[in-house]
């Protein structure tokens, strides 16, 4: 099967109805088991709701990026949030489980990094990954991310259907970071 060549655009509030099922199916539930990074055995919740997603789409401090196949069908997404000092946060990264492990994640991440650098002016990108997702951490490491050693608490209280979501009480995030300028040539303006 030839790899899908993704097209990219910014999400708008009109995308919420198709975006929400994509995110939920990638992170948890039955469909996520078709992928290779399911959180279904770690967290049983809806990940995010309409209002949470809308807030990420309309924030002036970031964007939600979408990846579609050539027919316009949504297959991937992420959020990019501008923090202080050139740092950006990469989150909500999801590829439709039916299309995972076919190179779309790598294709999407590369685009997100160039968008972060060239459009948002970011110089470093961070993300947080549940510590037990060792394959995922290894995947990011192969893409140039390094563990910072910082650990962040798992926000049980903010997760949708939080009561049902607490399948374990030992979850926390590991923070990974990448220098977005490493390996790029900075050319002085004429
Ligand atoms: C993480 C995610 C976005 C990656 O997308 P993807 O399209 O599957 O990624 P790619 O096809 O580009 O890469 C697949 C990689 O998985 C590896 N892989 C596949 N099956 C694996 C397995 N069972 N164990 C470990 N690695 C595996 C492949 O070797 C490949 O890595 P490599 O290219 O470095 O060799 C996607 O899996 C996803 O949506 N996961 C659910 C949501 C999530 O966890 N998001 C990230 C939160 S931080």
pLDDT tens digits, 147-161: 999 999 988 776 655
Mean pLDDT across the stretch 129-138? 95
71 in a domain, yes or no? yes
The band of 6, judged by pLDDT with boundaries at 50, 70 and 90, is: very high
Tell me the C-alpha distance between 128 and 134, whole Å. Answer: 12
188 in a domain, yes or no? no
Total structural domains within the chain: 1
Report residues whose beta carbon is within 6 angstroms of any ligand 1 atom.
Answer: 26-27, 35-37, 93-95, 100-106, 127, 129, 135-136, 139, 142
DSSP letters, 118-185, are HTS--SEEEEEEETT-HHHHHHHHHTT-EEEEEEEE--GGGSTTHHHHBS-S--EEEEEEEETTTTPP
**Which of 101, 132, 135, when mutated, tests ligand 1's pocket best, judged by the most ligand atoms within 8 Å of its CB?**
101
Closest approach atom of ligand 1 to CA 136: 1
Q: At 6, is the secondary structure helix, strand, or coil?
A: coil
95 in a domain, yes or no? yes
pLDDT tens digits, 56-107: 999 999 999 999 999 999 999 999 999 999 999 999 999 999 999 999 999 9
pLDDT tens digits, 73-85: 999 999 999 999 9
> Do 49 and 117 contact (CB within 8 A), yes or no?
no
Tell me the CA–centroid distance for residue 4 and ligand 1, in Å. 15
Is the pLDDT at 178 greater than 60? The verdict is yes
Domain of 146?
Answer: 7-179
Tell me the CA–centroid distance for residue 186 and ligand 1, in Å. 31
Tell me the C-alpha distance between 119 and 110, whole Å. Answer: 14
């Amino acid at each position: 099967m030839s790899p899908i060549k993704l097209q990219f655009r910014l999400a708008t509030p009109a995308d919420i109805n198709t975006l929400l099922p994509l995110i939920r199916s990638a992170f948890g539930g039955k469909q996520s088991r078709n992928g290779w990074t399911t959180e279904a055995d770690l967290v049983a919740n809806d990940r995010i709701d309409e209002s949470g997603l809308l807030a990420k789409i309309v924030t002036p401090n970031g964007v939600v990026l979408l990846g579609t196949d050539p027919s316009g069908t949504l297959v991937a997404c992420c959020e990019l949030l501008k923090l202080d000092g050139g740092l950006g946060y990469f989150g909500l990264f999801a590829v439709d489980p039916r299309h995972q492990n076919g190179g779309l994640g790598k294709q999407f991440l590369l685009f997100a990094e160039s968008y972060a650098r060239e459009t948002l002016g970011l110089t470093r990108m961070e993300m947080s990954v549940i510590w037990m997702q060792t394959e995922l951490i290894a995947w990011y490491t192969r893409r140039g991310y390094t563990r910072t050693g910082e650990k962040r608490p798992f926000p049980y209280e903010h997760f949708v259907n939080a009561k049902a979501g607490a399948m374990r009480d030992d979850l926390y995030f590991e923070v990974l970071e990448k220098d977005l300028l490493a390996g790029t040539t900075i050319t002085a303006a004429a």
